[in-house]
Structure 1
Amino acid sequence: MDSEDIYQNVERRDIEDTTGPRTQSNGQEGGKDEKRRGSRRLVLMTVCLGLICVVLLVFVILQLITITAERDLLKSSKNTVEEFNHTINSLQDNYTDLMTEKHQLKNNFSSLSQKKLELETRVNDLTAEKSQFQGRVDSLSQKKLELERKVTSLSEELMREVSKRGFFTISSELKSWSESRQYCRDRGADLIIINTEEKQRFISRA
């Protein structure tokens, strides 16, 4: 009840005192109106307070939902950051390992390049030596052919001389009887026939 209502009540009491029974009746009706207004105000205030409480409750719930969502987002972001840090550390370790392997491969490549140069030099030297040996072999082969020709010539000359004088020769080569006979005939001679003890002794001494 505010000051205006109190003022109206005071005026009504003054009027009731001056007007008598009729004024008292009007005062009772005014009191009823005032009670109705008071109840309406009370209901209105109650409704307003209820609405305010509902609004506050909704606001608090929204704030809780927002805080929960932000907390979950923060937690998710924290996990994501930790995963990124772990990935970065792993990549850093891999990079370090790769750089170490790169240096090792570079050193190995340098060593292999050096060995390659050494082997190429060695191959060139061996090629030169091979050429020299090949020249010597060719020269020796030529000399061998010349010596073989001389031996053949001397053998043929000796066989002719032996066949003229009746001498014989003993070959160190192992051949069959037919091959040996053909060998002798090619040189104008023939296999010896041992038909006396004297020939046997002579051949044994030879």
Structure 2
Amino acid sequence: MEMSENIYTNIDSIFEGDPCGRRAANRDEDINEDSIIFQDSRDAAEDDDTCMGRPAANPSGSKSLGRRPSRAGDVCWGLLCVLLLAGIISLGFYRNTVMNSYKDNLTKEKNQLETSNNNLTTERDQLQTSYKNMTKKRNQLQVSYNKLRAKSSQLQTSYNIMTKERDQLQTSYNTVNKERDQLQTSYNTMNKERDQLQTSYNNLAEEIDQLKTERDLLQKRFSGLKRAGPKGWTLFQSTWYYISSEVKSWDESRQDCNERGADLVIINSKEEQTFLTNLNKRIWIGLTDKDKEGTWKWVDGTPLTTSYWMGKNPDNKMEEDCAEISIGPVEGNWDDFSCATHLNRICEQKH
């Protein structure tokens, strides 16, 4: 529809904007009404020639030459009118086709809406039926619930009776238990006296064993004291320690200790840690993680259990795989250090 209206608008603009077109249309009306005189026809022919781009006819020429261009223009405008009429008829047919298609679409949509309405009505009826069925089931469940409540009350009564009987039995059981506990107390008292006698016997046996052990240790220490005690060695708690005056690497220090029949010190107690700290020297001890990074072991292969590391050590900043006692508090003066560093050493000789 919009296309046909645009065409009509373009046709009107042609007649409004083109003076030649207006004159041609006016001339056609004059010819159809037979009210034009010969002179007007000549003027119209001259105007047509001007609009067609041809030179105007000589006014002094023959009458036949003046009439021929006017008829040719009439034929052209007639053909143009026929073409416009054919276009208008085509647009009319196109409009009818579009209108019929639009009506068909409206009909289809109406039918679809009616179908949807029928489906919704059916679903509504089905939901209504389901609602009624659910209401019926709810009522049946309510009846069942009431029956269960009645049974629950009966069971509660039976439970109360059973509870009373249980309490009576519990009282009888407590009486029997009380008598049993009295007998158990007497039995435990006798066992306790027997255990005390056994403990006294065991204590005497342990004291005898300890005395024998101490005697053997004293004999060994006495023998060790006879063998040890060269220059530079110090005795602490029955163990001899050699404190070097010169500095060496960790490996050289251990080799020196081995040559002296000893090894780098292994710290087994806080008293020993305090003794070594009081020397106020940086000294190598027999602790390393050379075999596996982070797993510290003493030189005799035993793992480290009690440590006295300083701060966040060991930190292994520069391949620090050997341990030293630095100058500091007893509770934290161990430091991991490069094994190639030269420090004092302390050798330990056990008997």
So what's the TM-score if we normalise by structure 2?
Answer: 0.30
Q: TM-score, normalised by structure 1?
A: 0.48
Larger Rg over CA atoms = 1
Q: Which has the higher contact order (CA 8 A, sep 6+)?
A: 2
Task: Give the structure with the larger strand fraction.
Answer: 2
